[in-house]
Amino acid sequence: MIKDPHIVRGFDRDLEAVQAMIMKMGGLVETALADAAKALETQDEALAEQVRRGDRAIDELEEAVNAECARLIALRAPIATDLRTVLTVMKIASSLERCGDYAKNLAKRALVLGTMAPIPGAAGAIRRMARQVSAQLKDALDAFVSRDVGMAAEVRLRDQEVDQMYNALFREFLTHMMEDTRNISACMHLHFIAKNIERVGDHATTIAEQVIYLATGNLPDEARPKEGLAGGAA
């Protein structure tokens, strides 16, 4: 059956619009993560509060993406590759919403840590890890736009680097806690922050895997390379 070209063009325009919302979500998440890490390092309470409040915009975009995807499925009845695209968009939106939640949690803990004695070097290390994960997320979204399987596969491999950074930070925080029990509360908050950032890396990897699925019709056969995480983290 030959599709009406007007219907095809209409569907393509709808897809472009929803993909634009995904990229806007991604930009908001990247900014939130960078700002939360900066707020931690500079003890900027106003910036941390801005990140916390800004999470609502990310949530609203996810709701808009899901509503538009539901409308596309109901009205356009997409099949094969078109349906795969719509479902992939919904999964990516879900991953980005979770990443926004992690950035918000980072900002909340930054506010708490602002009342505690700083752990030397910790905030800078957290910010470097956040930059690494933000780059991973950006590349995963760029791979989505260009349907670049090679770039998506490379993002998957980089998840190991994030795991290694997390493990190094965990060991550093453990050392500080053992050296001085007064560091325990601050180090526990820093550990949860590092874990949240590591989870953003996991979601970036999930997005990359969805790109591979979108482009090829199959998820990667091999398990993603994963460093053993310290602290009993899975």
Q: How far apart are CA 2 and CA 197, in angstroms?
A: 47
C-alpha 187: how far from chain center:
23
If you ran DSSP here, which 8-state letter would residue 46 be given? H
- Of all helices (H) and strands (E), which one includes residue 117? none
Residues 68-88 have a mean pLDDT of: 89
Q: Using an 8 Å Cβ cutoff, are 206 and 231 in contact?
A: no
Give the Cα separation of 194 and 178 in Å (integer).
19
Lowest mean pLDDT among 147-151, 156-160, 214-218, 226-230: 226-230
pLDDT bucket at 225, cuts 50 / 70 / 90: low
Task: State the pLDDT at residue 6.
Answer: 40
Q: How far, rounded to the nearest angstrom, does the alpha carbon of residue 123 sit from its chain's CA centroid?
A: 20
**Which of 55, 2, 68 minimizes the C-alpha distance to 29?**
55
Residues contacting residue 120 through CB under 8 Å, at least 6 positions apart? none
- What is the C-alpha to C-alpha distance for residues 176 and 198, in angstroms, rounded to an integer? 21
* pLDDT averaged over every residue in the chain: 91
**Which CATH code fits 5-216?**
1.20.58.220
Helix or strand (DSSP H, E) at 124: helix 122-146
10 pLDDT band, cuts 50/70/90, is confident
Please state, in angstroms and rounded to a whole number, the distance separating the CA atoms of residues 77 and 231: 47
> What's the whole-model pTM score?
0.90
CA atoms within 13 A on the CB side of 197: 36
